[in-house]
Amino acid sequence: MLVKRFVLRLTLAGFLELNGFVGRQRNTSLPPTSMTTAKKHSSSEIEPTCIGSGKFIHTFDLKSEALTVRLAPEKDYCAVGQCDGCLLLLPTPNMRKKCVRLELQADEGLPCTDLAFIPRRSELRRLISVYASGFIRIWQFTETGKGSLWKTWRETEVKPDGEGDDDGVTKYNQILCLGVSPDSKRFVTGGSDTIVRVYDILRRSAGRLLIPSIRTDNTVAQNSHTNRVTSLVYHPRGAKDAALAHIFFSASWDGTVQGWDDRTCGSLWQYAGTSVAGSDGLCVDSTRNLLISGSFKHDKVLSQVWQARMFGASENRNTMVNMDKPLSTILQDANSPPVQIYVVRPSPDNEFLVFGGTNCNMIKLIQSATMRQLALVTNLPVGVYSADICVDAADKKRFLVSFTNGKKVYLLLQLALVTNLPVGVYSADICVDAADKKRFLVSFTNGKKVYLLLVDPRHPNFSETP
């Protein structure tokens, strides 16, 4: 019973090993496990508190701990991967959909560690899920709530140094993360054996291992990972720029973030000095072309910001100076306990960031440009290990944020920011709305216009009148 009490207070891979889901892996030593200092409460004893411009709109109660959550591109489903391996497609509020349960065979129950929707191109919709058992599954489901398994295979552990199998026993890779290309043609996986693999979604051929060839010119010490791969993400600009459709980034427990082209074997470059612990701990700000990595180990740093370099391997292989120094850092709140970050997710317009983690168990939304806090969710019984964000289907001026917390998944509505103004704002005022004392009326100048914003904390929304 002691193990179960500590389940969601460890890094994901540490949690899997502690519970006996996987055996020890070569060259994958675990970092020190993190025990939260927040007082332990059961879900029935405590309710989360939201401070700022966010508002809870729904809570999903689960039978098993949730490890990963994703919102569908159509914004009608919230997909949840659980510790028991079960995959749930939960309809978002106001969507008249049926819950879809994608279950494994009775003799299999290892955790679903990451998942991703494939943008639809027909009536059938598809979803990729990866597991600690080494399985990769591609599911398909319909609007009527029927789901079925389309493809499945299992990754065998690969040893980059070429050593033979131990005692002739086949071992399987503990997959921890995946990333889908913006053109929806390929995806990459990473896990305990340190190897990144790339797969073609439509073909049934085996994946290609991105193992670099042996180098003798000493131009770079290492162009692959040497420890567990914890996070993978493609460059979002690849959706519109074919030249970037193959560019992706990875993070690992070896303390590096690396840039790749999925057509080449070795990484193109690397940054050192990172500590990304979860599959949601690395993201790309496509507007500013930045990589943002969450900091699991640091007590003063919330995250680090790096340039999302995209040049080829031959251009700057010798330029390794200051590659361990980020462009900037986002600091922890000095007035609050330090947070060990597992989640860094950008809003669709890259105007704000979502952070989540353990230690003080919180989820925080901050404005990207000013680092101003917009909303803060506290009083969570356990840590936040996964989150996702999309534009609200009912109102494009709002965002829908989903995040995991133990056996619950929460949905939060967040007000959008007022942006794309032609000139600066030089004056503003605020008062209580005369028609409803629980609403606020905000006026501000912008060039030859004056805007009025009606803000209702009970129903997050903006309505404006020039």
Mean pLDDT of 5-20: 44
Higher pLDDT, 392 or 41: 392
Q: What is the pLDDT of residues 105-121, one digit of tens each?
A: 766 779 999 999 998 87
**408-415 and 398-405 beta bridge pairing:** antiparallel
pLDDT of residue 263: 93
Domain boundaries, the chain: 2-415, 428-465
CB contact set of 92 (below 8 Å; sequence gap of 6+): 58, 71, 75, 76, 77, 78, 393, 400, 411
Residue 82 tokens, joined: 């659980």
The sign of the dihedral angle between the CA atoms of 334, 402, 104, 5 is positive
CB count, 10 Å around CB of 165? 11
Confidence of residue 412 (pLDDT cuts 50, 70, 90): very high
Ranked by mean pLDDT, the top range of 39-43, 295-299, 426-430 is 295-299
Q: Are 199 and 180 in contact (CB under 8 A)?
A: no
pLDDT(316) > 60? no
Mean pLDDT of 249-253: 97
Confidence of residue 311 (pLDDT cuts 50, 70, 90): low
Higher pLDDT, 161 or 117: 117
Alpha carbon distance, N-terminus to C-terminus of the chain = 61
pLDDT of residue 6: 36
pLDDT of residue 45: 58
Phi then psi for residue 116, to 5 deg, are -155, 140
Confidence of residue 258 (pLDDT cuts 50, 70, 90): very high
**449-455 and 247-252 beta bridge pairing:** unpaired
Q: What residue type is 269 in one-letter code?
A: W
pLDDT of residue 267: 92
Confidence of residue 43 (pLDDT cuts 50, 70, 90): very low
pLDDT(212) > 60? yes
Chain mean position to CA 277: 11
Residue 303 tokens, joined: 């995250």
Higher pLDDT, 48 or 23: 48
What percent of the chain clears pLDDT 70, i.e. is strictly above it? Answer: 78
Higher pLDDT, 51 or 437: 51
CA distance 44 to 42: 5
Residue 393 tokens, joined: 């289907």
pLDDT(313) > 50? no
Q: What is the pLDDT of residues 432-443, one digit of tens each?
A: 778 877 666 777
pLDDT of residue 41: 43
pLDDT(18) > 70? no
Q: Lowest-pLDDT range, 203-207, 277-281, 328-332, 389-393? A: 203-207
Which of these CATH numbers, 2.60.40.770, 1.10.3730.10, 2.130.10.10, 1.10.10.10, describes 2-415? 2.130.10.10
Tell me the C-alpha to C-alpha distance, in Å, between residue 382 and each of 38, 111, 379: 8, 18, 9
What percent of the chain clears pLDDT 90, i.e. is strictly above it? Answer: 48
pLDDT(195) > 90? yes
pLDDT of residue 344: 97
Per this entry, what is the length of the chain? 466
Q: What is the pLDDT of residues 337-375, one digit of tens each?
A: 889 999 999 999 999 999 999 988 999 999 988 888 889
Average pLDDT, the chain: 81
pLDDT(283) > 90? yes
Mean pLDDT of 138-152: 88
pLDDT(29) > 50? no
Confidence of residue 5 (pLDDT cuts 50, 70, 90): very low
pLDDT of residue 420: 64
Of 128, 108, 6, 126, give the one whose Cα is nearest residue 65.
6
pLDDT of residue 462: 38
pLDDT of residue 419: 61
pLDDT(314) > 70? no
pLDDT of residue 12: 54
pLDDT(224) > 70? yes
Higher pLDDT, 196 or 418: 196
Chain mean position to CA 129: 14
pLDDT(233) > 80? yes
CA distance 91 to 82: 17
